[in-house]
Structure 1
Amino acid sequence: MGTRYNNILETVGHTPVVRINHLAPPGVNLYAKLEAFNPMGSIKDRLALGVIEDAERSGALKPGQTVIEATSGNTGIGLAMVCAQKGYPLVVTMAENFSVERRRMMRFLGAKVILTPASDKGSGMLAKAVELAESHGWFLCRQFENEANADFHSRTTAVEILDDFSDTRLDYWVTGFGTGGTLKGVARVLKEKSPETHIIVCEPDNSPLLGSHQPQPRSANGMPSASHPSFRPHLMQGWTPDFISKLTEDAANAELIDELRPIAGSDALQTSLDLARREGIFCGITAGATMAGGLQIARSAPPGTTILCMLPDTGERYLSTPLFAEIETEMTTEEIEISRSTPGYRFDKPTAPAPAPAAAPTPATIKATPQAEQFLADALQDKNNPVVMFALEWCEFCWSLRKLFKQCNIPYRSVDLDSAQYQQDNLGGSIRAALNAHTGCVTIPQIFVGGEFVGGCTEVFDEFKSGRFQQRLEDSSVSFDHDVSVDPYSLLPTWLHPRK
């Protein structure tokens, strides 16, 4: 971006407009505004920053107060970024059927994620957020009716679009609606500053809330009081909840919408895939749906028409959704044939291991020093840490054991032999040599409970499944969660699972 920023929040906005070259019909100027270039990968970063800063200015949000919001994911991720930078605790409510990548990202950023039943739909997660806010005195963002949402888009998104097309006529602006913030905030500016631009709003063809022209049941505060009667489940996560937001209704009532475009879920999926494979643009289902609407217009538009589509987020939010259902994790038949076209490094034909460099130290050539032997003796006799794991930082087996210990709340000491702590004079290598001499085992990890050698990863897993490991913990007065039920082998990385 060619400059230095004081914090991550200053990078929100100023997203690029990119020409669509291969999907667009000849003679039509089709563009996409790539909101995935926001720091957390979606257009909702704008909403999050706008709502929080407005609440700070008005005094509605106090220092240290907990922020709460209902979200399908992207708003929550944006809020998690903003709250992390500004120091606010964040709780989000989210229906359980939204993609797991989103909840994990929010938790990674420090947020608490409260799941609500899928059967309660979007209105259920919203009602839960209201319930929690009122009970605990938390600040509720109210993204679906908060004017700060639309105002931020008027100040940023709309201005960027006008600047990007200042030298040409913008004939169509295509968007979904979701919270309605982007729609209301941008459309009202375009109507004033670029009246020749037609505002096209897309929605799922099987869930036409706006297209039904049926009113949304609403409370006095603007929040929905019930699901919209025309709502049906659809593929476009974040696009249309089971209600028409107040901001969207405002835009419709102000006659900011020139045309509604129903979009089939299959078209949304295919267009997202086409954008990735023919344009190199990696985006989500909602972006594919919006571009599908833009392509519908482009196919019948006269030469010279200029169309801009809002692509709200990145495809990484959809790894566990139908968007990736046909994307293989293992090699396809074609990929296997490519692998077999040369002789080495194949699963169906073992490759002789390359010899280690002559000068490279190996466990067999490293001697156990008195310092290492004393370290090992002290570690195995440490009454404060009866569970000891001798490990390597990078080892997948070690990380699988760490996951088991964490799930069961088993306290343990990890001696990471390859860490910087043990590098001086190759202390880690010397400890490993002492360890090998003590157990007769050369592999890592090696686990001890109460000074007694258990074995490596699979030995611990087998003992855990039989209950023997839990008995060892009890014999050594190690407290842990007895109620955890897990197949420890499921904690291994998928590539370590036996091949079919």
Structure 2
Amino acid sequence: MGGRHGSVLDLIGNTPVVLAEKLSPPGREVWVKLESANPLGSVKDRLALGLIEAAERDGSLKPGQTVVEATSGNTGIGLALVCARKGYPLVIVMAESFSVERRKILRFLGAKVVLTPASLKGTGMVDKARELAREHGWFLPRQFENENNALTHELTTGMEIVADFADAPLDAFVSGLGTGGTIAGVGRALKKHSPQTRVIACEPANSAVLSSGIAQAYATDNSPVGSHPVFRPHPMQGWAPDFIPHVTQQAIDQGVIDEIRLVSGDEAMEWSRKLACEEGIFCGITSGATFATARKLASELPPGSRVLAMVADTGERYMSTPLFADILEDMDEGEMEISRSTPGARFDAPAPMPAAPAAPAPEPSAEALDHVKALIEGAGAPLVFFSLEWCEFCWSGRKLLDAMGVAYREIALDGSEYADVEWAADVRRALGKISGAPTVPQVFIAGQHIGGATELFDAHNAGDLAGLLDDAGVAHGPSGIDNAYSLLPKWLQAR
């Protein structure tokens, strides 16, 4: 979407549809709707905006009221986007089994994340969200029962698809089921405006809850009662909770869904990787599962058939899941062979010696020496931390001090005060002269030089850092870290 917009919320929806030309069966077309084009990268941005604005219209959500919801991640991330822009505090309840990336994205957007035990499954996080809403008077969107879920997708996602294929008949639409809102809403739009289009749902083969035909029990408010007996854990995060959402059950009862197909976790991950490597479409496990189902369906249809699959989110939500289990951090043998094919910048060969010794650095000026001494001995926190903004060792040192709850005065030697390059270099030389080390960071406690990152980490690991802080009257607590070197990026730990 181009143009100028008054709010990031204006960018939700109107996502593109792309032909998976290389992966479509011969003579058939499999198209994908790229919901990763939404601002926060998933189809749930639509749901979040729809539920919040509906609640604003009917008055159930008050200005400044806290929003709380149970989610596997994408709905929560969408809610975090909407709540950040509209000014609502947000608490997300999530089972601990969902990917760590989702928690971090939520917290980065300002939301609070409350985890529930994995053993309690989806019903555990739903029950916890309801409990928190009752206790604190927070607004609960109730995505699994809220009719505005399906309505949002009918009016936006569904009508976009109708418009995109107005001149090219769509034989089938394929989607997975989380809350069921996407397939319910799109299905309704297609039944009204493209009745020849079959609506196909897919669910995990090892957790065929819908296909079982066993009914889900519901409370009077349409919330699920207990886990479905057929549910089993599966890798499709965001799909198929351990209950049948009421929104999904309504779609089944209303005949919106024509067929339910099963797809395995292995198929899902295989086709997610193929979409990435052969089409350049970066998506998650559920999208791979949907595409696998759509492609198989297309291969069964007559030549010329056209199938649309929902690609619900981006692959970046799955870095810590089995989808990326075989993706190496270090070079494999083939990559090492490429590295060895030319002589420069190799890990398995020594760096060439400089042609001539470098000229000795000039001595620091008296002004720079006085400046650094004043910083070390000046008023403020007795712990002084000389740093650079873009320095992994400085980041790791900060993490250690922050973990201990230490108040410190940080001197960023690449900050605005040192914008003058000559002055900054002079101050660096003065720090090196006083500390005896040319590197950064450098740490001083009550005027005593402790050292750089290595010395700081060693003092922590040996138990000496706490004593140095006590002697200087610096308040601190336990870091909870066994080995301070674990705070370094992995590529530095390996060297």
TM over 0.5: yes
CA distance in 2, matches of 1:353, 1:135: 69
1:322 aligns with 2:322: yes
Match of 1:452 among 448, 465, 475: 448
User: Counterpart in 1 of 2:255?
Assistant: 255
Q: Percent sequence identity over matched residues?
A: 53
The one-character-per-residue Cα deviations of 1:118-167 (angstroms, maximum 9, x if unpaired) are: 00101101111111111111111111111111111111101100110010
CA distance in 2, matches of 1:382, 1:475: 18
Match of 1:433 among 429, 435, 446: 429
In the TM superposition, residue 355 of structure 1 has moved relative to its aligned partner by 8.0
CA distance in 2, matches of 1:406, 1:463: 16
1:265 aligns with 2:261: no
For 1:37, give the aligned amino acid.
Answer: A
> Larger deviation: 483-492 or 89-98?
483-492
CA distance in 2, matches of 1:429, 1:86: 46
Match of 1:487 among 483, 487, 495: 483
Question: Secondary structure of the residue that 2:370 maps to in structure 1?
Answer: helix
CA distance in 2, matches of 1:204, 1:75: 20
Confirm or deny: 8 A CA contact 1:205 1:263 kept in the other structure.
yes
User: Counterpart in 2 of 1:351?
Assistant: 351
Question: Secondary structure of the residue that 1:212 maps to in structure 2?
Answer: coil
User: Counterpart in 2 of 1:286?
Assistant: 286
CA distance in 2, matches of 1:129, 1:468: 44
CA distance in 1, matches of 2:356, 2:372: 28
User: Counterpart in 2 of 1:364?
Assistant: 361
For 2:90, give the aligned amino acid.
Answer: L
The one-character-per-residue Cα deviations of 1:269-311 (angstroms, maximum 9, x if unpaired) are: 0000010111110000000000010011111111011100001
For 1:18, give the aligned amino acid.
Answer: V
Confirm or deny: 8 A CA contact 2:382 2:472 kept in the other structure.
yes
In the TM superposition, residue 353 of structure 1 has moved relative to its aligned partner by 6.6
Match of 2:376 among 345, 358, 380: 380
In the TM superposition, residue 391 of structure 1 has moved relative to its aligned partner by 1.1
In the TM superposition, residue 474 of structure 1 has moved relative to its aligned partner by 0.9
Confirm or deny: 8 A CA contact 2:268 2:288 kept in the other structure.
yes
**How many pairs are equivalent?**
495
CA distance in 1, matches of 2:95, 2:393: 34
> Larger deviation: 488-497 or 374-383?
374-383
CA distance in 1, matches of 2:380, 2:412: 18
Question: Secondary structure of the residue that 2:207 maps to in structure 1?
Answer: coil
1:442 aligns with 2:404: no
CA distance in 2, matches of 1:346, 1:483: 37
> Larger deviation: 140-149 or 323-332?
140-149
Confirm or deny: 8 A CA contact 2:380 2:409 kept in the other structure.
no
Match of 2:418 among 418, 422, 435: 422
User: Counterpart in 2 of 1:73?
Assistant: 73
Confirm or deny: 8 A CA contact 1:366 1:429 kept in the other structure.
no
CA distance in 2, matches of 1:72, 1:411: 37
CA distance in 2, matches of 1:386, 1:417: 18
User: Counterpart in 2 of 1:245?
Assistant: 245
User: Counterpart in 2 of 1:3?
Assistant: 3
The one-character-per-residue Cα deviations of 1:202-232 (angstroms, maximum 9, x if unpaired) are: 0001101110011112111011110111100
CA distance in 2, matches of 1:354, 1:41: 48
User: Counterpart in 1 of 2:338?
Assistant: 338
User: Counterpart in 1 of 2:113?
Assistant: 113
User: Counterpart in 1 of 2:196?
Assistant: 196
Question: Secondary structure of the residue that 2:206 maps to in structure 1?
Answer: coil
User: Counterpart in 1 of 2:169?
Assistant: 169
Change (3 A) 1:425 1:267: closer
Question: Secondary structure of the residue that 2:113 maps to in structure 1?
Answer: strand
Question: Secondary structure of the residue that 1:115 maps to in structure 2?
Answer: strand
In the TM superposition, residue 104 of structure 1 has moved relative to its aligned partner by 0.2
In the TM superposition, residue 25 of structure 1 has moved relative to its aligned partner by 1.1
Confirm or deny: 8 A CA contact 2:403 2:479 kept in the other structure.
no
1:401 aligns with 2:397: yes
For 1:428, give the aligned amino acid.
Answer: A
CA distance in 1, matches of 2:235, 2:354: 49
TM-score, length-scaled by structure 1:
0.96
CA distance in 2, matches of 1:287, 1:306: 18
CA distance in 2, matches of 1:190, 1:363: 76
CA distance in 2, matches of 1:137, 1:13: 31
CA distance in 2, matches of 1:43, 1:220: 29
In the TM superposition, residue 483 of structure 1 has moved relative to its aligned partner by 5.8
For 2:466, give the aligned amino acid.
Answer: Q
Confirm or deny: 8 A CA contact 1:363 1:429 kept in the other structure.
no
In the TM superposition, residue 369 of structure 1 has moved relative to its aligned partner by 4.2
The one-character-per-residue Cα deviations of 1:49-106 (angstroms, maximum 9, x if unpaired) are: 0011111111111111111101101011111111111111110010111000000000
In the TM superposition, residue 412 of structure 1 has moved relative to its aligned partner by 1.0
Match of 1:461 among 451, 457, 460: 457
CA distance in 1, matches of 2:347, 2:328: 17
The one-character-per-residue Cα deviations of 1:454-497 (angstroms, maximum 9, x if unpaired) are: 00101000000111111111111111123633321100011101
Q: What is the RMSD computed on CA atoms of the aligned residues? A: 1.6
CA distance in 1, matches of 2:432, 2:213: 75
User: Counterpart in 2 of 1:475?
Assistant: 471
The one-character-per-residue Cα deviations of 1:401-455 (angstroms, maximum 9, x if unpaired) are: 0111111111111111112221136332222222122122111111001110000
CA distance in 2, matches of 1:355, 1:404: 40
For 1:56, give the aligned amino acid.
Answer: E
Unmatched segments (≥5 aa) in structure 1: none
Change (3 A) 1:483 1:392: closer
CA distance in 1, matches of 2:389, 2:420: 17
